[in-house]
Amino acid sequence: MTEHEQLLTNLKYLKMNEMTNHLDETINFINKNNLSFTEGLIKLTNYEIDHKEASMIKAMVKVGAFPHTKEIKDFDFSYQESINKDQILEFTSHRFIHQNENLVFIGSSGVGKTHLATSIGISAAKKRISTYFIKCHDLVAQLKKAKLENRLEDRLRHFTKYKLLIIDELGYLPIEPEDSKLFFQLIDKRYERRSTILTSNINFSNWDNIFIDPMISNAILDRILHHSHVIQIPGKSYRLKDYFSED
The residue ranges of every structural domain in the chain are: 3-63, 72-244
Q: Phi and psi of 228, rounded to 5°?
A: -145, 160
**pLDDT at residue 107, as a whole number:** 92
- Name the pLDDT band for 174 (thresholds 50, 70, 90): confident
- Name the pLDDT band for 190 (thresholds 50, 70, 90): very high
Q: Could you tell me which of 42, 40, 1 has the C-alpha nearest to residue 24?
A: 40
Q: Is residue 245's pLDDT more than 60? A: no
Q: Could you tell me which of 102, 85, 99, 79 has the C-alpha nearest to residue 204?
A: 102
**pLDDT at residue 238, as a whole number:** 60
pLDDT tens, 87-139? Answer: 999 999 999 999 999 999 999 888 889 999 999 999 999 999 999 999 999 99
Q: Specify the DSSP class assigned to residue 72.
A: G
* CB-CB contact of 210 with 55 (8 Å): no
**pLDDT at residue 241, as a whole number:** 55
Mean pLDDT of 225-246: 72
What span, in angstroms and rounded, lies between the C-alpha atoms of 54 and 11? 20
Distance, CA of 92 to chain centre: 10
Instruction: Give the percent of the chain with pLDDT over 70.
Output: 95
Q: Is residue 179's pLDDT more than 80? A: yes
Strands 131-135 and 164-170: parallel
One of 3.40.50.10490, 3.40.50.300, 1.10.300.10, 3.10.20.30 is the CATH number of 72-244, namely: 3.40.50.300
**175 three-state secondary structure:** coil
**Rounded mean pLDDT of the chain?**
90
Q: Could you tell me which of 192, 231, 232 has the C-alpha nearest to residue 97?
A: 192
Mean pLDDT of 39-51: 90
Cα separations in angstroms, 111 against 81, 92, 171, 210: 11, 19, 15, 20
pLDDT tens, 199-219? Answer: 999 999 899 889 988 999 999
What span, in angstroms and rounded, lies between the C-alpha atoms of 37 and 43? 10
**pLDDT at residue 62, as a whole number:** 84
